[in-house]
Structure 1
Amino acid sequence: METTQSDYSIYRQVVTQLMNDQEQLPSLPMLTLEIRQALARPEVSMIQLVRLIGKDPALSALLMKYASSALLRTRLAPKTLQDVLRVLGMQQVDRVVMLHSVKSLFVLHSPGHKLLFVDAWQRLILKASICGFLARKVGQVPADHAALASLLSEVGSLAVLSAFKGGDLVPTPARYHSLCQAYGKSLGVMLLKKWTVDEAYVDIVREAGNWTLQRQRQIELLDLVNLSLFHAIQVADHGSDLPALTSLAAYAKLNGSHNEVAADGSLALVSQHWDEIHELAAVLR
């Protein structure tokens, strides 16, 4: 049945109510806050951190997988959580903790909501993996920093689903996409401010998808996020109305070894390394 304006207005009303009552937005889990606070303390011991992180077996497993992944290419795979902390360092651990937490924040109220969430999460993880891969290849920005920024840049899309408290109101994929377009950025900014994350991530939410913005000559975090966004859209929707890759401000900053364009209009650097990108996505998923 064709969607009427009055039909769509019901969904808009639900999301608007969420934005007007920000207490309903998900908070970071208490354990995540404890880990992040501990990581920020210079005097914290390795034993204390291992004990704290070990309370979440899924997080411990993710950190082990991430520290052993192709993204880092360590000589010897870490065997213990203590090894992982040494390999990654405090900043990387903090970012992986955030990556892990985001997925668990959103309570889904029906199989229909779960399908929308899973589809969105798969796309966000692929985009984050492209971003992390590009960061490692291009340099300038740590790969884990780029991956987290890419994921958080669209966290508002996940927050849209948290507006639907009952299982009886499930937007179609097209309606969900429209809601994300209308409210995703605003919700993303609200969430990240609530979580008191680095202001750099909030700025990324605001500017992601601004293809022509150029603030400095050297490639920066936003450029990597926009390049990954471009490729994720291209993968998800071949007929989308994307600009030419070569018109992006981010593309102009790539040097000669990284700026080759493949026949499909993507970066050859991406199209020739999908195996590595999907390997990272498997770790983060």
Structure 2
Amino acid sequence: MMETTQSDYSIYRQVVTQLMNDQEQLPSLPMLTLEIRRALAKPEVSMPQLVSLISRDPALSALLMKYASSALLRSRVAPKTLQDVLRVLGLQQVDRVVMLHSVKSLFVLHSPSHKLLFMDAWQRLTLKASICGFLARKLGQVQADHAVLASLLSEVGSLAVLSAFKGGDLVPTPARYHGLCQAYSKSLGLMLLKKWGVDEAYVDIVREAGNWPLQRQRQIELLDLVNLSLFHTLLDSGSEAPLPALTSLAAYAKLNGLHNDVAADGSLALVSQHWDEIQELAAVLR
């Protein structure tokens, strides 16, 4: 592995910049994902056709089964077959879970050091997505699966940063990786989502995530949930970056008296009191 010093940080920046200048190197959605999404978009698609397509990816089938049985949905009867899952979730939710699964499988890991960085980032992203989905279900303004995917895609650029280091001989330390994410995650995320042709609502989330004071409407919207989940993830990680007080966030101002209690640690009591449930969903996504 290449030896570097702190002054060599420019080497890492150069590698990521080269990736941004040659967007063909950015990961594309898998062909099976594209086939499934095209099929889901067809009004005439049959359930057996979808089951046949999805069954070609056992990991995706397993994720859909776990997701449909998770606390986020609270189905009265746990689905037993893939066809049951499709009925429980509906085609729109299936499409979002397919995207979520694809994101994890896109990034090739070139060494144990890459894998450690990826798994640390994935653990943080899935926790954030789980908080977001939980809040969506509790507050009732946004579909939970919509919130989960939006939160995950809001930082997909952080995963893309790792794809710049394809050689395997140059792996950033956790601190350098964090610095690269701060510098390039948003730009790379925008490039990826435009390349994948995802809904513009998700592209907007990437642009505005972390914009704490932004308020565009009175009701809770998708961005508010993503920002609340980002705040709580940073708080949980003990981030060295200074965080504003929760009560100063535009998203917090939209919470009603049933949901706006603040815990002693500065988090929403709603989140801290349901931490086990949130972690349960995060385990499903991992």
Fold-level match, TM-score > 0.5? yes
2: distance between equivalents of 1:42 and 1:58? 26
2: distance between equivalents of 1:262 and 1:219? 21
Cα deviation per residue 1:144-181 (whole Å; 9 max; x = unaligned)?
00000000000000000000011111111111011000
Taking the TM superposition and a 5 Å limit, the aligned residue runs for 1:132-143 are 132-143=133-144
Cα deviation per residue 1:228-277 (whole Å; 9 max; x = unaligned)?
000000xxx66546000000000000110000000000000000001100
More displaced, 215-224 or 163-172?
163-172
2: distance between equivalents of 1:184 and 1:68? 32
Q: Which residue of 1 aligns with 2:90?
A: 89
Q: Which residue of 1 aligns with 2:231?
A: 230
Cα deviation per residue 1:191-229 (whole Å; 9 max; x = unaligned)?
000110000000000100000000000000000000000
Residue 107 (structure 1) shift: 0.8
Q: Aligned pair in 2 of structure 1 residues 6, 80: CA closer, same or farther (>3 Å)?
A: same
2: distance between equivalents of 1:60 and 1:47? 14
State the Cα RMSD in Å: 1.5
Residue 55 (structure 1) shift: 0.6
Task: Tell whether 2:264 aligns with 1:267.
Answer: no
Q: TM-score, normalised by structure 1?
A: 0.96
Runs of 4+ in 1 over 3 A off after TM superposition: 1-6, 237-241
Say which SS state the counterpart of residue 256 (structure 1) adopts.
coil
More displaced, 4-13 or 108-117?
4-13
Q: Aligned pair in 2 of structure 1 residues 190, 138: CA closer, same or farther (>3 Å)?
A: same
Task: Tell whether 2:153 aligns with 1:157.
Answer: no
Taking the TM superposition and a 5 Å limit, the aligned residue runs for 1:83-232 are 83-232=84-233
2: distance between equivalents of 1:239 and 1:280? 21
Cα deviation per residue 1:9-48 (whole Å; 9 max; x = unaligned)?
0000000000000000000000000000000000101110
Residue 2 (structure 1) shift: 12
Q: Aligned pair in 2 of structure 1 residues 238, 82: CA closer, same or farther (>3 Å)?
A: closer
Say which SS state the counterpart of residue 23 (structure 1) adopts.
helix
Q: Aligned pair in 2 of structure 1 residues 43, 239: CA closer, same or farther (>3 Å)?
A: closer
Q: Aligned pair in 2 of structure 1 residues 23, 50: CA closer, same or farther (>3 Å)?
A: same
Number of equivalences: 282
Gaps of 5+ in 1: none
Cα deviation per residue 1:21-79 (whole Å; 9 max; x = unaligned)?
00000000000000000000001011100111111111111101111111001110111
Residue 124 (structure 1) shift: 0.2
2: distance between equivalents of 1:44 and 1:238? 44
Gaps of 5+ in 2: none
2: distance between equivalents of 1:5 and 1:161? 19
Residue 3 (structure 1) shift: 7.9
1: distance between equivalents of 2:26 and 2:34? 16
1: distance between equivalents of 2:224 and 2:276? 23
1: distance between equivalents of 2:73 and 2:87? 13
Residue 5 (structure 1) shift: 6.3
Residue 6 (structure 1) shift: 3.9
Residue 109 (structure 1) shift: 1.1
2: distance between equivalents of 1:85 and 1:96? 11
Say which SS state the counterpart of residue 7 (structure 1) adopts.
helix
Residue 4 (structure 1) shift: 6.0
Quick one: percent identity of the two aligned structures?
Answer: 90
2: distance between equivalents of 1:273 and 1:239? 19
